Structure 1
Amino acid sequence: MRANSLNLVRTAGRSARPRRIPTKCAIRWSSTGERQWSTPLAKQLTEAITTTGPISVAAYMRQCLTSDSGGYYTRQTTGHDQFGTKGDFITSPEISQIFGELVGIWLYTEWIAQGKSGKVQIMEVGPGRGTLMSDVLRTISSFKPFAKSVGSIYMVEASEQLRKQQAQLLSGTAELTETDIGWSAPCKYIPGCNITWCEDIRFVPKEESATPFILAHEFFDALPIHVFQNVPSSKIPSSSTIVTPTGPIAPKTGPHTLKNHWHELVVAPLPEPDTPSTSSTSTPNPPPEFHLTVSKTPTPHSLYLPQLSSRYKKLEKIDDAIIEISPESLSYVSDFAVRIGGDNPPSSTSSPSAARPTTTYTPTASTKPEPFKKPQPSGAALILDYGPADTIPANTFRGIRSHTTCSPFTSPGLVDLSADVDFLALAESTLNASPGVEVHGPVEQAFFLGTMGIKERAERLLQGAKDEEVKRRLETAWKRLVDRGPTGMGRIYKAMAILPYIEGGKVRRPVGFGGDVVG
């Protein structure tokens, strides 16, 4: 979860706000009266909001994480590493090599179960330092027939700095060759196979004859979210009509009728404190520079996104209910589904493009992209992330720095931001996007890794280890991955799989989700 130290309280089946822990995220003001911002990005955000008004949480997250002006993942800082014990969080592949090895074996078992046919296309979105893909490819290289079937490898990564780290690990060089869709370098694990880096998944080609295997580990939790609150006795002007890809949307009531309505929670700067702080960056508990406020008027997203699912509509009469929705997550998982099972017919209103509203443009038949047709569904997607298994996330937006949670509104660009993943929303969008897929899970990470044989693999490694300190680290690492305590990774993390739909309705559960190796 970017940090295993995340402390969450579960109440009444809904995620509560993470407990805020003091951290060294400082903010300073000068004694001369000129406000001094913690980061250049904080100042830039404030200037933009002052000009155009409060922004959505999604826009705030996008800027803080990927802005060219100092985003968390895109800033160019020599010697800074977000990952690992010396960074801000540690991920499962960094904890133990066994994690990536078992993911590689999972891909191998799926390749066997699907008849070992087709040219394999391996893809990872948000690959971090490349540790997971390195362990996956090293494992695959041990299965020669599978390795020979791999025709292409794609890494979807927006950060130039991280691309270089990944290339050094996967190709043995940070020198990448520019291509028409990104950058390329040879794979050191599979001779004759190239790795291509793309800034966006849309640049990764869809191939009708390819068998795509897609990995998304701790990816969806970092995608921008919109936050909505159900405000009782809300007055929404009847003129608040927006145009979406599926048609216009207008409020259900007139200007003088009071009714519950979804209002978007938006980000605005906090006023300068009456007593400015003159302390240094070591301030133990600095005040945040931004905060959430309820939008008084409708936003396009507040009229559109809460209508996407019956799950949200069931909360329309609950005063002050809060929901978090990530349209980018729905778009990405829909893309996965289309690559595996092909697109829905053109008349469908549940295509991936429907996840993005617009107020100025309605697609016509001539401008809509041609649906991707796949004669035979094939491939798989494995999603590993954290979030509730069967509820809508609420109040889960958090910042993480130095392995502790902190305010997401402090030191923009220096703090990692994330939110719980809505797995049921991912499943719903997956099934809506393609007739050729089915969804398995989510299951707890402890169950997935346990049935994949993590204990047995750890025992083999322990038998080969001669140093007692190495044995201790191996033992601690694998048990941490399957810990089912209240904040344990084995409980909080979930696994979900997208597989080809089998005609006739026969269900084949994959390995790690209650099934056995078949083929």
Structure 2
Amino acid sequence: MLRDDDYHYYNHHHTLIYMQQSHQYTSLEERKWSTPLAKQLYEAISTTGSVPLASYMRMCLTGDLGGYYTGAVGEGRDQFGAKGDFVTSPEISQIFGELLGIWFIAEWMSQGRPSKGVQLIEVGPGRGTLMDDMLRTIQRFPAMANSIENVFMVEASRELRETQKKLLCGPDAPSTESKAGCHSPSKYGSAPIVWTETIKSIPIEPDKTPFIVAHEFFDALPIHTFQSAAAAAPKPSPSASSSTQPDDAPAPDPAPPTMEWREMMVSITPPGTTHADLGTPKSQQHEPPPEFQLVLSSATTRHSRVLPESSSRYRRLKQTPGSVIEICPDASLYAADFAARIGGSRTHPKASPSGAALILDYGTSDTVPINSLRGIRQHRLVSPFAAPGLVDLSADVDFHAIAEAATLASDGIEVHGPISQADFLELMGIRQRAEALSKVPGVSPSKASDIEKAWKRLVDRGPSGMGKVYKALAILPENDGRRRPVGFGGDVTES
């Protein structure tokens, strides 16, 4: 589904210069926009000028007017599954969620089997399929199931919250409100399901053991994109222009240009622009040319002056003209939040670190992502700048940046991975679980074949296979490297 040539088709945009757009707006007034959000974006850009890519992504995904997850769902619309735009691992096989449930059970056992204070937290829970499979699995371990005080679902979409509630609680389950969010009784025991729009609504408490899962969450967080370019040369002073050197003196060697980071911005595509003008891949030319495009800012921006200076990984690339980097500030904020909940921080001290976070997503292990923004609609790659609000937007996750942010946020944690999803699932026993499911009485040969195809798809190590493209990373209480978690080369150890 994910192809490298489509990932990187924005390379040619890095030679674009910032466009002064004011002269275009009169001719655009009568333009027909594909969605209400497209028109709103046009009005915003025509007023303030080009907007950062992160602002565009945030409006497209979670904006109040027709955001992909918050307003574009429509009657009977579903982003997930065969009838939607994409299929996620929990939708492919129940084994995926079962193995993640087992991973957290193993961590609970390795951390002394706490009898109370356990929290299950999922960020970006989709339709609730993953949590449903996890809770069903955890119910087979009553001691852990009884230790769970709350199951928190961090979800911005009202429609998806309703879908999750029907699955996890039943369609007629009552609801109550609190400062934390909306509570409903789970069909899996006494621990209530609590929905909240932001993880900040969940208090960070030193006596809790938070088990956090983030599956295909970080890839949907907004990114900023920057390119290294030569800064404008300063104007010579009057005194410098009157040279005292003789006319035949050799010219001094020119000083290397001062480099600076410029930000890639989203602007309006002028009327009449063609796919050839934009360099659209052939696979995406079945749609009209996108209404928006990436352009390079003509000078530094407030983001380009700060974000690329936040890590030596970025600073090392600055002196190479044309270097491109993608930075996701929100990812670092979430990683720091997870770390503080597990290991404590200066703001939230924790005498005894506890809990764990498991992150599964697609992205890079140690390199900085570049040109990875993509749009997906109805299982096809499309331009991320077409039909705003109707196209899912995502970008590669920078796992190294997540690990860096987590370790800087808390001295009480350590990070394991990232490793490939194939390695993680195979170490967790996906093959053995699939074989056991296939031998359950009443499973037909056709169903057994489906089970086999599903688990092999999850561990496919081909160039764009899920087993290779997706990675797993774990955040654990710091233990001087004495214990590796299951799935990352370790075994269950009772503390």
The answer to whether TM tops 0.5 is yes
Deviation at 1:472, TM superposition (A): 1.5
Q: Select 1:445's aligned residue among 421, 431, 449.
A: 421
Higher mean alpha-carbon deviation, 316-325 vs 97-106, is at 316-325
AA aligned to 2:314 is Y
Is 1:69 matched with 2:65? yes
Match of 1:103 among 76, 93, 100: 100
Task: Label 1:283 to 1:322 Cα distance change in 2 as closer, same or farther (>3 A).
Answer: closer
Aligned-residue sequence identity (percent) comes to 54
Distance of 1:262 and 1:18 partners within structure 2: 18
1:514 — aligned with what? 489
Q: 1:66 to 1:274 in 2, by over 3 A?
A: closer
Q: Does 1:456 align with 2:416?
A: no
Q: Which residue of 2 aligns with 1:51?
A: 47
8 Å Cα contact 1:72/1:416 also seen in 2: yes
The residue that corresponds to 2:2 in the other structure is 6
Change (3 A) 1:32 1:403: closer
Q: Give the secondary structure class of the aligned counterpart of 1:496.
A: strand
Query: Displacement of 1:65 after TM fit?
Result: 0.3
Alignment partners' CA distance in 1, 2:273 and 2:332: 43
- Length, aligned pairs only: 449
Alignment counterpart, residue 455 of structure 2, candidates 468, 471, 478: 478
Question: Is the CA contact 1:234–1:260 (under 8 Å) kept in the aligned structure 2?
Answer: no
Mapped contact 1:315–1:321 kept (Cα < 8 A): yes
Map 1:113-152 → 2, pairs under 5 A: 113-117=110-114, 118-152=116-150
| Distance apart, 1:389 and its partner CA | 1.0
The answer as to 2:375 corresponding to 1:399 is yes
1:375: Cα distance to partner? 1.1
Where do residues 323-402 of structure 1 align in structure 2 (5 Å cutoff)?
323-343=325-345, 345=346, 371-402=347-378
> 2: CA distance between counterparts of 1:322 and 1:228?
6
Q: SS of 2:368's equivalent?
A: coil
Tell me if structure 2 keeps the 8 A contact 1:92–1:99. yes
Q: 2:303 aligns to what SS in structure 1?
A: helix
Amino acid at match of 2:104: L
Contact kept, 8 Å, 2:121 with 2:212, in 1: the verdict is yes
Per-residue CA deviations over 1:349-400 (Å, capped at 9, x if unaligned) read xxxxxxxxxxxxxxxxxxxxxx111110000000000011111000001101
Write the distance in 1 (CA, Å) between the matches of 2:154 and 2:28: 46
Unaligned runs of at least 5 residues, structure 2? 12-26, 236-254, 275-283
Give yes or no for contact 1:215–1:383 (8 Å, CA) kept in 2: yes
1:161 corresponding residue in structure 2? 159
Contact 1:235/1:257 (CA < 8 Å) preserved in 2?
no
Q: TM-score, normalised by structure 2?
A: 0.87
Tell me which amino acid in the other structure corresponds to 2:404. Answer: E
Give how far 1:260 is off: 1.1
What is the one-letter code of the residue matched to 1:299?
Answer: T
> Helix, strand or coil: the match of 1:196?
strand
Describe the superposition over 1:203-230 as per-residue Cα deviations: whole angstroms up to 9, x where unpaired.
0111111100000000000000000000
Shift of 1:506: 4.0
Among 29, 34, 40, the alignment partner of 2:36 is: 40
How many angstroms does 1:179 deviate by?
2.1
In terms of fraction of residues, the more helix-rich structure is: 2
Tell me: CA distance 1:88–1:65, structure 2 relative to 1, closer, same or farther (3 Å): same
CA distance in 2, matches of 1:52, 1:323: 25
Match of 1:176 in 2: 175
For residue 32 of structure 1, report the CA deviation from its aligned partner: 12
Q: In the aligned structure 1, how far is the partner of 2:175 from the partner of 2:413?
A: 35
What is the Cα deviation at residue 297 of structure 1? Answer: 2.2
Q: Residues of 2 paired with 1:470 and 1:115: CA distance? A: 39
Structure-2 residue corresponding to 1:268: 267
Shift of 1:231: 0.9
Match of 1:227 in 2: 225
Tell whether the 8 Å contact from 1:236 to 1:298 is kept in structure 2 after alignment: no
In the TM superposition, what is the alpha-carbon distance from 1:119 to its structure 2 partner? Answer: 1.4
Partner of 2:306: 304
1:43 maps to a residue whose letter is K
Task: Quote the Cα distance in structure 2 between the aligned partners of 1:152 and 1:260.
Answer: 51
Does the Cα contact within 8 Å between 2:28 and 2:271 map onto a contact in 1?
A: no
Gaps of 5+ in 1: 20-30, 238-255, 276-281, 346-370
Which residue identity lines up with residue 461 of structure 2 in the other structure? R
Q: Secondary structure at the match of 2:130?
A: helix
- Deviation of the 1:285 alpha carbon: 2.6
- State the one-letter code of the partner of 2:196: C
SS in 1 for 2:306: helix
Amino acid of the structure 1 residue aligned with 2:455: W
Match of 2:317 among 312, 315, 318: 315
Is contact 2:153–2:196 with CA below 8 Å preserved after alignment? yes
Quote the offset at 1:17 in angstroms: 4.0
In structure 2, the CA distance between the partners of 1:18 and 1:381, relative to structure 1 (3 Å rule), is farther
Please tell me whether the aligned partners of residues 234 and 261 of structure 1 are also in contact (alpha carbons under 8 angstroms).
no
Alignment partner of 1:201 is 2:199: yes
SS at match of 2:354: coil
User: Which secondary structure state, in structure 1, belongs to the residue aligned with residue 439 of structure 2?
Assistant: helix
> CA 1:323/1:492 → structure 2, altered by over 3 Å: closer, same or farther?
same
Mapped contact 1:8–1:18 kept (Cα < 8 A)? no
For 2:128 and 2:270, the matched residues in 1 are separated by 41
DSSP 3-state at the match of 2:4: coil
Residue 409 of structure 1: aligned partner: 385
Could you tell me which residue of structure 2 aligns to residue 245 of structure 1?
none
Q: C-alpha deviations, 1:123-142, integer Å up to 9, x for none?
A: 00000000000000000001
Change (3 A) 1:372 1:130: same
The change in CA–CA distance for 1:193 and 1:18 in structure 2 (over 3 A counts) is farther
Q: Contact 1:9–1:18 (CA<8 Å) still a contact in 2? A: no
Point out the structure with max Rg over C-alpha: 2
The structural deviation recorded for 1:496 is 0.1
Distance 1:403 1:18, change over 3 A: farther
1:112 matched residue in structure 2: 109
CA distance in 2, matches of 1:283, 1:425: 34
For 2:382, the aligned partner's letter is C
Equivalent residue number for residue 467 of structure 1: 444
Alpha-carbon distance in structure 2 between the residues aligned to 1:236 and 1:476: 62
Code of the residue aligned with 1:262 in structure 2: it is W
Aligned to 1:425: 401
Q: Distance between the aligned counterparts of 1:331 and 1:236, measured in 2?
A: 37
Q: Does 1:284 align with 2:280?
A: no
Deviation of the 1:267 alpha carbon: 0.4
2:448 and 2:412 mapped to 1: Cα distance? 45
8 A Cα contact 2:260 2:300, kept in partner: no
- Pairwise CA RMSD: 2.3
Contact 2:60-2:388 within 8 A present in 1 as well: yes
